[in-house]
Amino acid sequence: MSEGMTILFAISVMLAAVGGAAVLTWFERRLLGLWQDRYGPNRLGPAGILQVVADMLKLLTKHDWTPPFADRWVFIFAPTAIVVAMLLGFAVVPFGPGLHIIDVNIGLLFFIGMTSLAVYSVLLGGLASNNKYALLGGLRSAAQMVSYEVFMGLSLMGVVMLTGSFSMQDIVEAQRGGWFCVSQFLGLFVFVIAAIAESHRLPFDLPEAEHELTAGFHTEYSGMKFAMFMLGEYLGLILVSCMITTLFFGGWLAPFGMTWLPPIVWFSIKTFLIICFFVLLRAAIPRPRYDQLMSLGWKVMLPLTLLNLVVTGAVALWMQGA
């Protein structure tokens, strides 16, 4: 694409991601209502879709208060950081053949770097609030997200071994002979668990933990700043769903040779189904204790990632020798 088309496509992706995150707040509640046999939003507009507009108006018009005891500039910067980091992560996502903002040979490393930067937003928000509940939430977040970043990165090394590249386009093309969700099942399992912990979605939303920390790291946030934290969380959900599609489910490649739909449509369908899976986890799985979450990471996830690396490396060497 030309430079002008690339800029236009980047703006389109950004607007689609933000709009999708807004609609996802409604869709998640409707889907949870369906699975839990109760009503979701159903008053404003068809199927309650205008609830999104009502929520946006409420958050935008609500008094945007900064506590006098907070570190003002850090307090303001924290919610901005997570939104910027998540939007930058979409830069390397290939939505179809040639449909990407930028294709670099370190695209996978760039994605991991952007998700790593998101931890600073939550940690700084908790520290800058000068509130004991927010501080505990920030410290939990630092331990949880930094720990699971290790497993997230290691879980993808099997994909890199089989592909021989960190380029997202190359990873998708390498799956023409078979999606990595089969050969890298362990890597997929660990990556999904780590992605939930990284985006602190239920059941791993322990940095917030309303039942014990009131609201965790965003206890003191309201109005637009609170909306940006929530926007960052839903952008993170969409981003990791796009990455799971790209890395393990063939990206834009059609299943079983069904090429009668455009590649970007197949990519969107796969991403949508993965988002539904994440919402189903919220409806079905209870929240563990914090010590159970950390034990799961270091005692289960780490051995699984190392096992996946050893087996994948052995198979790759055997195939080269053959």
Domain positions in the chain are 65-321
* Burial class, 168, CB count within 10 angstroms (exposed 0-12 / middle 13-18 / buried 19+): buried
Neighbour count for residue 313 (Cβ, 10 Å): 13
Q: Cα(50)–Cα(241) distance, rounded to whole angstroms?
A: 25
- Distance in angstroms (rounded) separating the CA atoms of residues 221 and 228: 10
Helix/strand/coil for 99: strand
Rounded CA-CA distance 92/114 in Å is 11
Which DSSP category does 100 fall into? S
User: What pLDDT was estimated at residue 289?
Assistant: 79
Q: Phi and psi (nearest 5°) for 274?
A: -70, -40
Q: Are 86 and 114 in contact (CB under 8 A)?
A: yes
pLDDT value of residue 270: 93
Token representation of residue 245: 């599609």
Whether 114 and 85 have beta carbons less than 8 Å apart is answered as: yes
Q: According to the model, what pLDDT value does residue 322 have?
A: 55
The whole-number pLDDT of residue 54 equals 86
CA–CA separation, 301 and 294 (whole Å): 10
Q: Are 207 and 199 in contact (CB under 8 A)?
A: no
**Would you give the DSSP letter of residue 96?**
B
**Which tokens in the block code for residue 149?**
């970043």
| pLDDT averaged over 10-residue windows placed end to end, the chain, 322 residues | 78 88 87 83 82 83 80 85 88 85 86 85 82 79 82 88 88 87 89 85 68 67 82 88 91 82 90 90 80 84 89 84 62
Strand partners, 278: none
Distance separating alpha carbons of residues 96 and 310, to the nearest angstrom: 32
CB atoms within 10 A of CB 154: 20
Residue 69, helix vs strand vs coil: coil
- For residues 305 and 190, give the distance between their C-alpha atoms in angstroms, rounded to a whole number: 7
Strand partners, 96: 99
In angstroms, the CA 21 to CA 232 distance is: 9
